[in-house]
Amino acid sequence: MAAFRSTFGPAPRERDALEDPEDLEPYLAEAGQRHPVRPSPTRVERLRFLDDDTAEVEFVLGLLDGPAFPFDGRAVRRGNRWLVTRDTVVRVLQSAGVVVPPQPPAR
């Protein structure tokens, strides 16, 4: 799925592949500073559609010349684009030691 490859793959990152790009971009940058090794392409292992607009995705995020890490995540369709959910990105960032504060409740 292109949204996962764009979000977690080598730069440049497509901001519009994220559910909350303005909120998450600083934390993605922090992860890049903490772990300056460029990631290898993200490999989508399994994709299961829960409904027309939601998919569960098993994907592997690896580092060039380093270990690969399996993750489970979700993607949601907004209009004609698939976006990686905020929760998925936060879990990947937490595994890299980046603390992301909870999203404020919608008003």
105 part of a folded domain: no
Q: Which pLDDT does position 2 carry in this prediction?
A: 79
User: Could you tell me the CA-to-CA distances from 83 to 9, 78, 99 in Å, in that order?
Assistant: 14, 7, 21
Q: Which domain, by its residues, includes 46?
A: 2-95
Q: Which pLDDT does position 77 carry in this prediction?
A: 93
76 part of a folded domain: yes
**pLDDT at residue 104 above 90?**
no
**pLDDT at residue 107 above 60?**
no
107 part of a folded domain: no
Q: Which pLDDT does position 105 carry in this prediction?
A: 60
| Choice between 87 and 64, residue whose per-residue pLDDT is larger | 87
How many structural domains comprise the chain?
1
Question: What's the CATH code of the domain at 31?
Answer: 3.10.450
pLDDT digit string, tens, across residues 29-44: 888 787 766 667 788 8
pLDDT digit string, tens, across residues 67-95: 778 999 999 999 888 999 999 999 988 98
Distance CA 104, CA 31 (A): 22
| Choice between 40 and 57, residue whose per-residue pLDDT is larger | 57
104 part of a folded domain: no
| Choice between 50 and 80, residue whose per-residue pLDDT is larger | 50
102 part of a folded domain: no
19 part of a folded domain: yes
89 part of a folded domain: yes
43 part of a folded domain: yes
Q: Which pLDDT does position 84 carry in this prediction?
A: 92
